[in-house]
Amino acid sequence: MYVVTYKLPGREKTFTGPTIPEAHKLFIKDYAEAAGEVKKVKIEKNEDPGFLIILNYETYRDFFAKPKEVLQ
């Protein structure tokens, strides 16, 4: 499971999902209006304590939060 923490001014919101896009869907469902306020995003993986990514929201949204497209 992936643990994604959204760092907003003065607070943090954490969501867990089997994939990064699934965790992001939970954030958007509950906090879509706050997406523009996110400063940084921290991604961790429960099964791998050495896995840690910290990046700005725009990079996260554009490269990690989108589900992979199926090639046909």
Encode pLDDT of 9-45 as tens digits.
999 999 999 999 999 999 999 999 999 999 999 999 9
Its pTM stands at 0.87
- Which residues are CB-neighbours of 51 under 8 A, at least 6 positions away? 43, 44, 45
pLDDT at 65: 87
Using the predicted structure, report yes or no on whether residue 71 has a pLDDT greater than 50.
Answer: no
Judge whether 71 lies within some domain. no
Judge whether 52 lies within some domain. yes
Judge whether 72 lies within some domain. no
Q: What is the span of the domain harbouring residue 26?
A: 2-64
